[in-house]
Structure formats: C-alpha cells, structure tokens
Structure 1
Amino acid sequence: MSANFWTDQKFTKRDYTKQKLPKGDYENCRFVDCLFSKGYLDNQNFVECTFEGCDLTNTNIANTTFNDVTFKDCKMVGVQFETCSQLLLSLRFSGCNLSVASFNGMDLPRIGFQDCKLHQTDFSEAHLKQAEFSGCDLENALFENTNLEQSDFTSATNFNIDPSINHIKKTRFSEGGLIGLLKKYDIVVT
C-alpha cells in the first residue's frame, strides 16, 4: 500500500501538467475541471472516484488501478487504457470524448459508454460482453476480433462492425443501425 492515502476529497481546477498528482491511493475522491493533459497518472490507485470535466488527453495511465471509477464530460483523446492495471478494473464513461483512445485486448464486461464520442477508438481483441454504447458516435472505431455478445448498440451511430470477424451473438442493434453491419459490402440501402 502506498504511503499517501486520500479519502472523500474534492480536487477542483487543479493543473497537474506542471506538478504531478502525488502518488498514492485515492478513495471516493472527486476530480473536477482538473488538467492532466499529456501528464502522468501512472502507478496510482483510484477506488470509487469520479473525474468530471477533466482533460486527460494523452495522459499516461500505465499500471494505474481504476476500481469503480466514473468519467463524466472528460476529454480523454488518445488515452491508452490497455496500459492500466487490469486488476479490479471497473470503468464508466458519460459524455466523454474518447477519440483515438485504445481498449485493445482488454477484458471489460458490462462497460458503460453513454453519449460518448468514440471516433477512431480501438476496441480490437477486446472482450466487451454486455457493453452499453448508449447514444455514442463510433465513427471509424475499430472492432476486430472483438467480443460484443449481448452488447447494446440500439442508439449508437456511425459504427462499422464486420459480423464475420467479431462475436455479435445476441448483440442489440436498431433497425436503422443495421447498415453499420453491412458497410464492408458497399451496398446501397434506401
């Protein structure tokens, strides 16, 4: 266990690009409008924490534990989630920009994305069984050898999922979204 421990703290409008967030364990803490862009959040432990309106663009999260962590209205462009600790990993995203982020090869059953921008996000080789993509824009998101069984895309837009190279058993799509399963055939549906 780390020597530094913070619980039930609120960190507001802090700039962690010049001075790093102190290494330690953060439990039930809130980070509001904080700047971490191109910074380091590596080797940290977050349990039941919330990040709201924060900029985490290209932030290094290597070996960081995220246990029951929620990101709301955050900018997280280019974040490489596969570098974080997989132990006790539990994430939720709402209203976030996760463009060019990567979840490559991760095991994330029941992960929730709500109203997120996921342009060019990499979900290759990920296990996303029962994932929720409510109101998400998945333009050019990469799904390759991805387990999407029982996931929900009924209100997602702009996705391109090839059923021949992904697992989509009992995955839910809206009738209008079915075109996202046929894009590789370059057909016209009217």
Structure 2
Amino acid sequence: MPEPPAPAGLAGRQDVASATRDGPARFSGWNLTAADLSRLDLQGCVFERCRAGQANFANAGLAETQFLGCDLNNSRWAGASLSSAVFRDCKLTGALLGEIRSFGLTFERCLLVSAQLPGFSFRRQTLDGVDFQGADLAEADFREAVLTDCNLKDANLARARFEGADLRGAEIGPIAAGDLPRFKGALISRAQAAIIAGGLGLKVV
C-alpha cells in the first residue's frame, strides 16, 4: 500500500483525493483538522497517528478502513459506510456517529466520551477499553456483548438493550426499575449489583 508523505501544515480534500486516486493509501501523521472528506472513496485506507479533529467524513466510503491512534474528536460521520472498519486507540470525544452503516465495525481502546451513537449495534461484540461516559447510546444494542474495562457512567441508555451481555468489566451507574427487563440474563459483579440495588432503594448486606 502506498504511503504518501504528509504535506507541510494542514492537508485538505484535494490532498487526500489525489493520494487515493489509484486505490487505498496509508496516511501516517497527516494533519487533517477540520478537513472536508465527505463523499470520498477511502475504502481500505489506513489512517495512523493522524489529527482529524472536526473533520467531516459524512457519506464517505470507509469500509475496511483502519484508524489507528488518531485524534478524531468532534468529527462527523453521518451516512458514512464503515462496514468492517476498525478504530483502535483513537479519540472520538463528541463525534457524531449516528446514521452510519456499521456492520462489523469495531472499537478498541477508544475514547467515545459524549459521542453520539443512537441506535448503534454492538451485538455480540467484544469491547475492550472503550470509554462511553456521557455518550448518547439511546436504543443501542449490546445484547450478548462482552465489555472489558469499559465505562458507561452518565451515558444515555434509554431503550438500550443488554440482554445476555457480560457487563462485569464495565462501570455502570444505577438502573431504573423500569429498565431492568432490558438487562435480563446480563452478567454483573457483586459490586455492580450493589450499585443497582442502591439505586432502587435497597440495601445489600
């Protein structure tokens, strides 16, 4: 895979389009802050240690693309195709990830603090080191997922589903009584059970 040198200073849409004219490329250390990459075909590319805060990836073709150690804070992704894409060791605080095509998309050791992920499916995924604190996960699907070293505190979990999930490695807050059926069959630790019971006004002795 070709690895075009990073331009001096900010790189933009034309730089990326030119680098991928003949197919996928590896972008290492590029500064793509606030770049408009919407609707570009970036399938199979690799972005490594890139700065792309506030970048616009809306409606871009990103299937099987890898983002490794990138700053993607406050980036926009609406309508993007991210099937089988990988985010590893990335910062995605405040990212807008609603309405994307995400079959097979994986997050590993990523910050998704205050990110927008309504309706996102994590079903049967293994999530390791993902921080969802304050994220919008309304109607997200975590059924049969395994969460290790993850943080769900203060996240919006309205109508999210956790049936059969293994939550023992996640930080969770109190759960309302009306939400308990959506956690049927989930595995939790004794400490988590105490937090949930406390939120329901019960005392664990």
Query: Residue 182 of structure 1 aligns to a residue in which SS?
Result: helix
Q: Provide the rounded CA distance (Å) in 2 between the counterparts of 1:77 and 1:37.
A: 9
Query: Residue 23 of structure 2 aligns to a residue in which SS?
Result: strand
Q: Which residue of 1 aligns with 2:104?
A: 90
Deviations 1:100-148 (A, max 9, x none): 0122123442244211221111211222222232111222122121111
Residue 90 (structure 2) pairs with residue 74 (structure 1): yes
- Asked if 1 retains the 8 angstrom alpha-carbon contact of 2:34 and 2:54, the reply is no
Query: Against the structure 1 CA distance between its residues 56 and 170, is the aligned structure 2 distance closer, same or farther, given a 3 Å change threshold?
Result: same
Note the residue ranges of structure 2 that are not aligned, 5 or more in a row: 1-19
Note the residue ranges of structure 1 that are not aligned, 5 or more in a row: none
Residue 200 (structure 2) pairs with residue 185 (structure 1): yes
Q: Normalising by structure 1, report the TM-score.
A: 0.84
Residue 164 (structure 2) pairs with residue 170 (structure 1): no
Q: Which residue of 1 aligns with 2:33?
A: 17
Structure 1 segment 1-190 matched on structure 2, within 5 A: 6-7=23-24, 9-17=25-33, 19-21=35-37, 23-84=39-100, 86=101, 89-162=103-176, 164-165=178-179, 167-187=182-202, 189=204
Number of aligned pairs? Answer: 186
Q: Provide the rounded CA distance (Å) in 2 between the counterparts of 1:44 and 1:92.
A: 17
Name the structure where helix makes up a greater proportion of residues.
Answer: 2
Cα deviation, residue 163, structure 1? 5.2
Query: Residue 26 of structure 1 aligns to a residue in which SS?
Result: coil
More deviation, 30-39/107-116: 107-116
Query: Against the structure 1 CA distance between its residues 19 and 81, is the aligned structure 2 distance closer, same or farther, given a 3 Å change threshold?
Result: closer
Q: Provide the rounded CA distance (Å) in 1 between the counterparts of 2:22 and 2:103.
A: 19
Cα deviation, residue 93, structure 1? 1.1
Query: Residue 117 of structure 1 aligns to a residue in which SS?
Result: coil
Query: Against the structure 1 CA distance between its residues 64 and 107, is the aligned structure 2 distance closer, same or farther, given a 3 Å change threshold?
Result: same
- Asked if 1 retains the 8 angstrom alpha-carbon contact of 2:197 and 2:203, the reply is no
Q: In structure 2, give the amino acid aligned to 1:141.
A: A
Cα deviation, residue 69, structure 1? 1.1
CA RMSD across the alignment: 2.5
Cα deviation, residue 66, structure 1? 0.4
- Asked if 2 retains the 8 angstrom alpha-carbon contact of 1:14 and 1:34, the reply is yes
Overall identity of the aligned pairs, in %: 23
Q: Provide the rounded CA distance (Å) in 1 between the counterparts of 2:88 and 2:177.
A: 31
More deviation, 70-79/158-167: 158-167
